[in-house]
Amino acid sequence: MAAVGREFGVTARTIRRWIDHADALAAKHRREAARLRRKAEARPPNTAEDRQRAVGLVVDKGRTKASVGREFGVTAGTIRRWIDAIYPPPPKQEMFDMYGSTTEIYHAYGSPFPQRYRNLNSNQRRKLRDEYVEHFRGRCLYCGRQLDDKPSSVVRQAADAIEWNNMPGGKEGFLSNPIHLHHDQITGLTLAPIDALCNAHSWEFYESSVWMEKLLENIKSLPPEKRKELRARVRKQLS
């Protein structure tokens, strides 16, 4: 100890106090760990109702997983697993912005987003769109402007280059509703609220090419007889 003391510039007695303090601290931690084990063993297993209540405290009340875990005698990781079991993690989603870059979309556990667009009727789509608008605080994720304002000049200046004949209802019909419920054409899942002109811009310049590439991939993966049948159907529709 004297040699160690000389190295750190203290006496051997100080080194001894440090060691005694470390031993006492380690013993205290061991006693606390044993106490927690005994408490956990004495506690009856958490029921389904307990798990539901614990998840509600995190998701609805905003409590931390660690504090709820202490209340229910489990770890924060266990609380995380309970949440995942009741509210499966929302899928990771991306959508284009007006420059062709992708923007990640995040949703909270237990939120109503996303949903299958084609499974919703018009009233359900309108209600979900309004919930999205509130969730994103009235912002169009495509151009970044507020949805009650005009879209970005980048989008407006490209309006004449859009093939409006390819849009449902043509230009007038497509723009009749100023705010659309944007959805992924490949996964079918809803994404975000989007200005009507931004929606047309996104499809014209970015989404349509991605969708076509995916369609071609799916066609190539078909057996030869299926591809032949599909070609015949397309020729018939075009004739």
- 38 & 145 share domain: no
- 217 & 175 share domain: yes
pLDDT digits (tens, 9 = 90+) for 147-185: 999 999 999 999 999 999 989 999 999 999 999 999 998
To the nearest whole number, what is the mean pLDDT of the chain? 87
Number of Cβ atoms within 10 Å of the Cβ of 74: 20
- 82 & 109 share domain: no
Q: What is the pLDDT of residue 206?
A: 93
Range in 24-28, 37-41, 46-50 with the lowest mean pLDDT: 37-41
d(C-alpha 104, C-alpha 83), whole Å? 22
One-letter amino acid at 218 equals: N
d(C-alpha 193, C-alpha 186), whole Å? 17
Number of Cβ atoms within 10 Å of the Cβ of 44: 7
Number of domains in the chain: 3
List 142's β-bridge partners, or say none: none
CA dihedral (110, 113, 116, 118) in degrees, to 10, reads 140
CA atoms in the 13 A half-sphere facing the CB of 11: 3
Q: What is the pLDDT of residue 102?
A: 92
Q: What is the pLDDT of residue 43?
A: 62
pLDDT digits (tens, 9 = 90+) for 40-93: 665 666 888 999 999 999 988 889 999 999 888 888 989 989 988 888 777 889
Domain boundary among 58, 88, 118: 88
pLDDT digits (tens, 9 = 90+) for 118-154: 999 999 999 999 999 999 999 999 999 999 999 999 9
Confidence class for position 101, pLDDT limits 50, 70, 90: very high
Number of Cβ atoms within 10 Å of the Cβ of 46: 16
Confidence class for position 110, pLDDT limits 50, 70, 90: low
Which pair of tokens denotes residue 117? 């667009």
List 116's β-bridge partners, or say none: 189
Q: What is the pLDDT of residue 171?
A: 94
DSSP 114: -
- 151 & 114 share domain: yes
Q: Would you call 90 helix, strand, or coil by DSSP?
A: coil
Helix residue ranges, H only, the chain: 2-8, 12-42, 48-59, 65-72, 76-86, 122-135, 153-156, 170-175, 196-202, 208-220, 224-238
- 129 & 222 share domain: yes
Cβ neighbors of 226 (< 8 A, separation 6 or more) are none
Mean pLDDT value of segment 223-239: 74
The domain of 135 spans 93-238
Report the residue count for the chain: 239
Cβ neighbors of 91 (< 8 A, separation 6 or more) are 114, 187, 189
- 77 & 158 share domain: no
